[in-house]
Chain A
C-alpha cells in the first residue's frame, strides 16, 4: 500500500517537473522577446494618449531621391512596380506653382486624418482609426468595394489587383483588399520609426520627422510650435497627422 503511494507521489513529482519544464520552454522566449522589444504587449492596445504624426520638410526633400519609397516597399513587401494597377503606399510628388513656377518635392502618403473620409464611408468598418491616430484597413473584413479609394482626398490607397507571393509575415496583404500606408505600425509598436523616416534620416536629408504629436516634449511637437506647417486640403477639416513645411 505504502509502496504504491510512494510510486504515485514520484509519478506526480515527475509530472510536475515535466510540466514546469514545458511551461518554462513555452513562456521563456516570450518573456525574453518582450524584454528585448521593450514594447507594450499586444493586449495593451493603442492608447489615445498618443497621436502619431509626421512632419515633412519639403525644403530638405531632395529631387530624384526615392529612398523613402524604396524603404517602404522593402519593409512592407511591395513590388515597387509603378503601373496603373500596382500598389504605391508612398510616392514622390512634384508640384509646380502655375504662376511663379516654384517647385516643391514631397513624399505623399496616407495623411492619417483625425476625421478620415475613408473610415466614414467604409460599409463594414474595415477602414478604421486606432486610438493613437493610425488609420488602418482590417484585412479580415475588407470586402474590396473600393469606396474608401473614392473618398480619400490624397489618393493614398491602393487595391491589390492580383495574387501576392513572398509577403512580409509582419505585413499581411491580400488580393481583393484595399491597403495604404500604416505608418509601419509593426515598427511603431516596437517603438521604432517608420521605414521611410529611417531611410530619409540615413540618407542625410533629414526631411521626415516622426513622433507623438500629443507629447509636448517630442521633437515633432517642438518643431511644429516653431515653424509654419501646411495641412494638405486643410479646407476639408480633416486634421491630418502628416504636415508639411516649406510650401
Chain B
C-alpha cells in the first residue's frame, strides 16, 4: 500500500485542488484580517462583547483550538512514549497538527486583544503569579519542543533523541492543558468556575477534541489520496475516541454533581441545567448529546467497524460538541450574574443581578473563524510539501516496540 501513496497532491495530478483549498482558506483569512483591522480601528464596541460578557465567540473558538492542539499530540505520544507502532506511523501528522492548531488558537486570542499592538509587552513583561502568563510560556515551549520532536521524526541522525523528546513533549502537553484549564479553575469569584476539576477535565476534553481533529484530517488526506483506512486501525481509533468521549462525559458529570451537592452552587446549576435558555440547550443538546452520547452510539453501532464514514461523523460531532462545551463554559459562566451579597437580590445600572445577554456580531464571527483558517492554511501547505501522510506497514496494530 505504501508504494501507491501520493505524498502530495502534485504527484497525484491534483494541483488545481490544492490551489482551490488555499484560495478557500485564504478568503476566510482575508475576512478575519478585515474584521481585525475594522475592530482595531473602531474598538470592541463593534462586537457583541460587553463589560459583562468580556470573553465571547473568539475565545470559544480559540480555547477549543488550544485545547485540541495539546490533545492531537496524544497520537504521537502513544507512539513514542508507549511504543505503539500504529500510532508511530501517525506521529508526524499528529505533531504537525499540534503546531498548526495551536497557531490558529493563539492567532485568534492575539487578534482579539484590546491592544494587539502590545503583543511584545505580553512577551516581555511576566507576572509569574498569573496562570495566563504561565500559559504563554507553556505555548512558546510547546512550539519549541514539538518542533524538535518533529525533527527527530524526520531526521534519522536525530533518532536517538526521539524517545526522550517525545516524553518531554508528552509531559509538557499535560502541563499546558493543566494551565489552560486552570485559567477557569483559578477564577475564585464566579460560580461557574472556581474548581480544581477544570485542570484534569480540560486534559480529558483535549484527548477527545484532539483525537477527533486528527481523525477528520486523516480522513480528508486518505480521501484525497484514494487510500482506504486499514480496518484494524479504524477499530483502534474508534475505541480510543469512545474511551476519551466517555471520560469527558464522566468529568462533566462529576463537576455538576459536586456543584449540586453544594447549596451555594444550586442557583448556578439550576441556571445551567434547567433555566439557562441557550446555555441549557447547548449543554444538553450540544455538549452532552451531540458531543457525547451520539458519537458513542455511532461508534458502537454494528456497522462502525467496517464504515470509516461513521467514525468520521462521530469525530465531527465531538468537534461540534466541543464548541458547544466551550460556549457553555466561557460565555455561560459569565452570563450568570456575580453574587456579591448572598441572600439578597441585587440591581444596578451596571446589570448586577441579571443574566447577561450576549449576541456576537458578524465581525467577531469573522475573527473567530480565523483560527480554523490559519490551521487549515498551514496544514494544507505542510502536507503538500513534506511527508505527513500516515503509512501503515503492519497489519497488527497492537504490536509494540520498546514497551516500557
**Chain A interfacial positions (CB closer than 8 Å to B):** 82, 84-88, 91-99, 108, 117, 119-126, 141-147, 149-155, 157-163, 175-178, 232-233, 236, 247
Contacts and interface: CB of A to CB of B under 8 A. Distances in A.
B347 interface: yes
A2 B398 CA distance: 107
Contacts of A154: 338, 340
Contacts, number: 169
Contacts of A145: 113-114, 122, 132
Interface string B148-192: 000000000000000000000000000000000001001111100
Contacts of B348: 91-94, 108
B189 A123 contact: no
A118 to B, nearest CB: 10
26 contacts: A84-B50, A92-B348, A92-B349, A93-B348, A96-B344, A96-B345, A96-B347, A99-B343, A108-B340, A121-B187, A123-B133, A124-B127, A141-B121, A142-B115, A143-B121, A147-B130, A151-B186, A152-B189, A153-B338, A154-B338, A155-B51, A159-B44, A162-B44, A176-B44, A176-B115, A236-B189
Interface of B: 42-45, 49-52, 54-55, 113-116, 118-119, 121-122, 125-127, 129-133, 135-136, 183, 186-190, 334, 338, 340-341, 343-352, 356-357
Contact of A85 (B50, B122, B133): B50
Nearest to B264: A235
B54 A82 contact: no
B188 A151 contact: yes
Contacts of A99: 343
Contacts of B49: 85
Nearest to B110: A143
Contact of A123 (B50, B127, B343): B127
A150 B45 contact: no
A237 B399 CA distance: 55
A46 B187 CA distance: 29
Given A122-B127, A144-B118, 20 more contacts: A91-B352, A98-B345, A123-B132, A124-B121, A141-B118, A142-B118, A143-B113, A143-B116, A143-B118, A143-B119, A150-B54, A150-B187, A151-B186, A155-B338, A155-B352, A157-B51, A159-B44, A159-B114, A176-B44, A233-B189
A167 to B, nearest CB: 15
Interface SS of B by simple majority: loop
A121 B45 CA distance: 24
A150 B330 CA distance: 10
Given A84-B51, A141-B121, A232-B340, A162 B45 contact: yes
Given A124-B126, A144-B115, A161 B186 contact: no
Nearest to B330: A150
A-B pairs, top 5 by smallest CB distance, nearest first, are A144-B114, A176-B114, A153-B189, A84-B50, A123-B132
A142 B114 contact: yes
Contacts of A141: 118, 121, 125
Contacts of A126: 125
A15 B356 CA distance: 69
Nearest to A90: B350
A118 B323 CA distance: 27
